Amino acid sequence: MNFWQRLPKPIMALAPMADVTDAAFRRLMAKYSAHERADGSVGGPDVMWTEFVAADGLVRATPEGKEKLMADLIYSEEERPIVAQLFTSDPEHMEYAAKLCRELGFNGIDINMGCPDRSIEKQGCGSAMIKTPEVAKEIIKAAKRGAGDMPVSVKTRVGYGEDILEEWLPAILKESPAAVTIHARTRKEMSKVPAKWERVKRAVEIRNELKSDTLILGNGDVLSLQDAADKVAMSGADGAMIGRALFGNPWFFHPTKRLPVRLTALPTKGVNRDTIHVADTSEEGVEYISIEERLRVMVEHSKLFAELLPFKNFSVMKKHYKAYVNSFPNAAELRAELMEQNSPDEVEAVVERFIESHRAILEG
């Protein structure tokens, strides 16, 4: 029995996101979302994914380049179960990379068949693989050969230019992946339209019609744990994968800890983050996270990033600052100053000054 089959349902999973779900982010998520799960284990999300990693790079890269790629595959025991996400259109490279991830001790392998990034698509990978189902099937087979007894899953979309779920999903299910995560939009739609969770429901129906044992997770437009539970209940899926709602909120998966604001929409490019949150401290039995604690965890995040990922440009952290710093007095002022900083020490100094000079507001 693989780890997927042992997970209590509904499964709540952390989505793979480039330059977001790195080792520093996941470690914080494991720490601050830690709670006793339904099966008695202690942890944050039920499953974590790494950022996607190029299998081609793991095969072809120079020693220095491979060292940088391997940094995307570091993890801590607290993050288990953890899945390494890979992409390639070359079966031999997939087999090699899956074997490497097995040797590194991952709990599972996931194949990215949904990323809309043009540079990934040009390689025949990500969402471009929806257009080549025979190649996709060979990639799954290769991943299984390399993974051995480790489960292989797939993350994909309902289609590329058009919704072809009824043709695409059965092709994947023929290879019996342990799980398939369905992003409920086409590649063409990106995030410009609401996620169609009724298509996740249809995916579950297709799975059942084919008498497949593959788990189905839905993905798209999840705002909160309760929203995830509602979407899972509506669709009949085995779980939900959460992405953008996690930004700036390492407490997301904790059942009784919450930010004092809730999302009314997901953060997208060009949207003022201060306008998509509303104050909400209405629920009894919930510990609401103070602004000061949020800022200090942001500093901790910055230090972890610099410590664990020295190959990465520190500017990656700035997207996180936009997520942590909103919906409180003078947030815009603090955000602007943080955008000018280039090290965790500089960030910490700015935050400490802000806390001291705004203590009356923060404690009020």
Opening angle at CA 138, ends 156 and 92, nearest 5: 110
CATH class of the domain at 3-252: alpha beta
pLDDT above 80 for 78? yes
Antiparallel, parallel or unpaired: β 152-159 and 179-186:
parallel
Lowest mean pLDDT among 15-19, 67-71, 243-247: 67-71
Within 8 A by CB and 6+ apart from 266, the residues are 191, 221, 223, 244, 245, 276
pLDDT digits (tens, 9 = 90+) for 191-201: 889 999 999 99
Q: What pLDDT sits at residue 276?
A: 74
Question: Cβ distance 184 to 196 under 8 Å?
Answer: yes
Per-residue confidence band for 244, with pLDDT thresholds at 50, 70 and 90: very high
Catalytic residue among 7, 109, 115, 178: 115
Could you tell me if residue 125 is left (phi over 0), alpha (psi between -120 and 50 degrees) or otherwise beta?
Answer: beta
Return the structure tokens found at 131: 């257009």
Q: In the 3-class helix/strand/coil scheme, how is the chain assigned residue by residue?
A: CCHHHHCCCCEEEECCCCCCCCHHHHHHHHHHCCEECCCCCEECCCEEEEEEEEHHHHHHCCHHHHHHHHHCCCCCHHHCCEEEEEECCCHHHHHHHHHHHHHCCCCEEEEEECCCCHHHHCCCCHHHHHHCHHHHHHHHHHHHHHHCCCCEEEEEEEECCCECHHHHHHHHHCCCCCEEEEEEEECCCCCCCCCCHHHHHHHHHHHHHCCCCCEEEEECCCCCHHHHHHHHHHHCCCEEEECHHHCCCCCCCCCCEECCEEECCCCCCCCCHHHCEEECCCCCCCEECCHHHHHHHHHHHHHHHHHHCCCCCHHHHHHHHHHHCCCCCCHHHHHHHHCCCCCHHHHHHHHHHHHHHCHHHHHC
Q: What integer is the mean pLDDT of 229-241?
A: 98
Full-model pTM: 0.94
Mean residue pLDDT of the chain comes to: 94
Q: Where are the domains of the chain?
A: 3-252, 256-364
Q: What pLDDT sits at residue 283?
A: 83
Per-residue confidence band for 67, with pLDDT thresholds at 50, 70 and 90: confident
pLDDT digits (tens, 9 = 90+) for 319-362: 999 999 998 999 999 999 999 999 999 999 999 999 999 887 77
Question: Cβ distance 277 to 263 under 8 Å?
Answer: yes
Active site residue 115: yes
